[in-house]
């Protein structure tokens, strides 16, 4: 294993330049992906006393099944049986090395060794990680819709992967003690409102969008006929829109990066829909062509923080802290930690499997930035080797503002009273 690294998986995706560099010598993608040496079940008996006490401290105030993770991806390649799908381009080295290596790294991180059984192996690994958390809580498992054009037609070529709503709902019903469902319905779909109402009536509360990758402009003027009825149904059933904010690095999103501007989510908010901005919009900034709504050069995260502080959106707008520990985002941690006024609007998300990707989480750089100390780093690296999902949680509980020492309060890691999961 590469013990010098330790990048925490942050919700997102591997930076392109890094992947190019990496793919050039990707002798073993396992080192960059999973790089786990141990089984989750052995953690309890094998980790050091220091690591044990870090885990215990992390669970202070978060006992029983109180823990909540509002951001867990599902994956599979079993189109025939449950509709899970991954773009063929990502599966073959001949159609694009970059995607191929990225995919190899994801598979390794998620414990998938046999593509024929990717869905089953992915699920088994996730359940195994959860089962051996000292306290389990509940994990929101996400469906993921296709890219759709403005005519409402799905486009597989522009989609990275697909996870059907039915699949996550079936799993959430089968394992209600650990999972709750997060569906994904593209609003331009011809059956969008019918499907949305169908799931709302079955008690589903959470809806995931990745606007940059799915081709959704949450504030589009030309698509108002589709968006407004959709938002009204969400409001009617008190549903929650969990929408990616900021530039997207993990899935294909080149042409639609500006759809990650958090200001576009004012559209559903103004109608009264609850919105979770994932990653607190921690990558990217306002570009020239966005001048009508923001001044160029303003980091998206600043726009997101202003929305969280806006009394107009109290009780409506929230943000998840997934991926903030990733090496390309953690410079933003202080900005969020030093604003206690927004802490009651934050919720926990792991963006699993990203925390299990060895190269995106670098505990060494979190020591350099003053967010953890070297002793904590050693203990966290130890935990990672047994259970990357637990590692993600303990890291977020341990890290603190580089100057003031402020930590995320325990309220971030439990069920939010406005975003109840059952």
Q: List interacting residues with Zn ion (CB under 5 A).
A: 11, 351
Q: State which residue, 55 or 112, has the beta carbon closest to Zn ion.
A: 112
Closest distance of CB 194 from Zn ion, Å:
26
Distance, in Å, from the CA atom of 264 to the CA atom of 404, rounded to the nearest integer, reads 33
Q: State which residue, 51 or 210, has the beta carbon closest to Zn ion.
A: 210
DSSP 278: E
The answer, yes or no, to whether the previous bond of 105 is cis (omega within 30 of 0) is no
Is residue 376 within 8 A of residue 17, CB to CB? The reply is no
Closest distance of CB 314 from Zn ion, Å:
26
Beta bridge partners of 7: 361
Closest distance of CB 300 from Zn ion, Å:
16
Q: State which residue, 160 or 261, has the beta carbon closest to Zn ion.
A: 160
Please count the other Cβ atoms lying within 10 Å of the Cβ belonging to residue 422.
9
Q: State which residue, 54 or 182, has the beta carbon closest to Zn ion.
A: 182
User: What does the block give as tokens for 266?
Assistant: 């004012």
Q: State which residue, 47 or 214, has the beta carbon closest to Zn ion.
A: 214
Q: State which residue, 161 or 384, has the beta carbon closest to Zn ion.
A: 161
Closest distance of CB 395 from Zn ion, Å:
17
Distance, in Å, from the CA atom of 376 to the CA atom of 382, rounded to the nearest integer, reads 10
Closest distance of CB 73 from Zn ion, Å:
6
Q: At what angle do helices 49-58 and 374-386 cross, to 10 degrees?
A: 90
Interstrand relation of 240-244 and 274-278 (parallel, antiparallel or unpaired): parallel
Distance, in Å, from the CA atom of 284 to the CA atom of 300, rounded to the nearest integer, reads 6
Distance, in Å, from the CA atom of 304 to the CA atom of 308, rounded to the nearest integer, reads 6
Q: State which residue, 40 or 140, has the beta carbon closest to Zn ion.
A: 140
End-to-end CA distance of the chain: 40
DSSP 342: G
Closest distance of CB 184 from Zn ion, Å:
11
Residue 16: HSE in the Cβ half-sphere, 13 Å Cα cutoff:
8
Closest distance of CB 212 from Zn ion, Å:
12
Q: State which residue, 212 or 402, has the beta carbon closest to Zn ion.
A: 212
Q: State which residue, 261 or 350, has the beta carbon closest to Zn ion.
A: 350
Beta bridge partners of 73: 142
Beta bridge partners of 347: 320
Closest distance of CB 72 from Zn ion, Å:
8
Q: State which residue, 351 or 376, has the beta carbon closest to Zn ion.
A: 351
Which single residue is written with the structure tokens 């108002």? 224
Distance, in Å, from the CA atom of 216 to the CA atom of 196, rounded to the nearest integer, reads 16
Distance, in Å, from the CA atom of 208 to the CA atom of 73, rounded to the nearest integer, reads 10
Closest distance of CB 250 from Zn ion, Å:
7
User: What does the block give as tokens for 132?
Assistant: 């051996």
Which single residue is written with the structure tokens 């504030």? 219
User: What does the block give as tokens for 264?
Assistant: 């576009």
Closest distance of CB 11 from Zn ion, Å:
4
Distance, in Å, from the CA atom of 231 to the CA atom of 229, rounded to the nearest integer, reads 5
């Amino acid at each position: 294993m590469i013990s010098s690294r330790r990048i925490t998986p942050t919700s997102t995706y591997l930076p392109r330049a890094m992947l190019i560099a990496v793919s050039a010598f990707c002798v073993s993608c396992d080192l960059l992906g999973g790089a786990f040496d141990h089984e989750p079940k052995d953690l309890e008996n094998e980790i050091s006393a220091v690591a044990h006490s870090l885990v215990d401290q992390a669970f202070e105030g978060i006992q029983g099944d109180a823990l909540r993770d509002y951001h867990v991806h599902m994956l599979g390649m079993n189109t025939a049986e449950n509709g899970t799908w991954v773009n063929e381009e990502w599966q073959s080295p001949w159609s694009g090395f970059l995607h191929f290596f990225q995919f190899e790294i994801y598979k390794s991180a998620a414990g998938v060794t046999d593509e024929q059984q990717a869905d089953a192996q992915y699920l088994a690994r996730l359940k195994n990680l959860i089962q051996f958390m000292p306290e389990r809580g509940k994990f929101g498992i996400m469906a993921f819709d296709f890219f759709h054009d403005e005519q409402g037609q799905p486009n597989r070529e522009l989609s990275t992967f697909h996870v059907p709503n039915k699949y996550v709902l079936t799993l959430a019903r089968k394992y209600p003690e650990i999972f709750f469902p997060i569906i994904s319905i593209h609003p331009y779909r011809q059956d969008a409102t019918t499907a949305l109402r169908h799931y709302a009536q079955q008690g589903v509360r959470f809806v995931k969008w990745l606007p940059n990758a799915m081709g959704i402009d949450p504030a589009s003027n030309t698509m108002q006929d589709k968006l407004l009825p959709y938002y009204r149904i969400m409001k009617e059933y008190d549903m929650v829109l969990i929408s990616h904010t900021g530039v997207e690095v993990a899935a294909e999103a080149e042409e639609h990066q500006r759809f990650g501007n958090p200001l576009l989510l004012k559209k559903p908010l103004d109608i009264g829909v609850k919105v979770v901005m994932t990653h607190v919009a921690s990558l990217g900034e306002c570009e020239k062509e966005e001048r009508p709504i923001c001044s160029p050069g303003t980091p998206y995260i600043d726009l997101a923080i202003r929305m969280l502080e806006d009394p107009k959106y109290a009780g409506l707008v929230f943000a998840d802290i997934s991926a903030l520990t990733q090496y390309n985002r953690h410079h933003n941690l202080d900005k969020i930690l030093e604003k206690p006024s927004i802490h009651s609007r934050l919720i926990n998300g792991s963006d699993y499997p990203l925390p299990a990707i060895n190269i995106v989480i670098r505990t060494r750089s979190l020591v350099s930035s003053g967010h953890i100390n070297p002793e904590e780093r050693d203990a966290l690296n130890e935990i990672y080797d047994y259970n990357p999902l637990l590692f993600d949680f303990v890291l977020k509980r341990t890290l603190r503002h580089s100057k003031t020492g402020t930590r995320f309060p325990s309220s971030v890691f439990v069920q939010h009273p406005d975003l109840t999961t059952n």
